[in-house]
Amino acid sequence: MANLYWTLVEPYWEVVSIYDGYDVFLAEFKKMPQVSQHLFATHWAQSEIRNGGIDQFFDNSTGVLAKEAVEGFKALGMLETAEILQQSMDILGTPYPQDRDERQERLSELPDPFFFEDVRFWELLDEEADGFHVAANRYASKAIN
């Protein structure tokens, strides 16, 4: 199956909101099985970053799940990908701002801080652990079998 991992994400796709703040997101997210949590967060992160870079991921509502995406990439065996995302989060400060308005304010103060991280992240999405889709499907298959 080309996107086996999606079968573990799809049931939650319309249920878990990334648009209503961190508390709402986290309450809904925690109801998911852990394997689906990891796949949900990494799917969002890789989709958003492939589309417009790390800056776009943080700037949009998707940035609410950055911490969960780091944990998800680790679970998928994509350790360098997780590290780049964590380092990028650290640029925005500690603790990482879960609030979108706060993230946007901090991003506005930084001159394109993620150029090199974007390039490496995109490469890793295709290479590390055989690439995101292979790693996600492999992780999903362990949970299903």
Enter the tokens of residue 6. 């999606």
Examine the pLDDT at 1 and tell me if it is beyond 60.
no
pLDDT at residue number 2: 66
What is the structure's pLDDT at 53?
Answer: 93
Q: What are the sequence ranges of the domains in the chain?
A: 6-144
CB 15 within 8 Å of CB 28? yes
Note the pTM of the prediction, 2 decimals.
0.94
Q: What percent of the chain has pLDDT above 90?
A: 88
Task: Dump pLDDT digits (tens) for 92-110.
Answer: 999 999 999 999 999 999 8
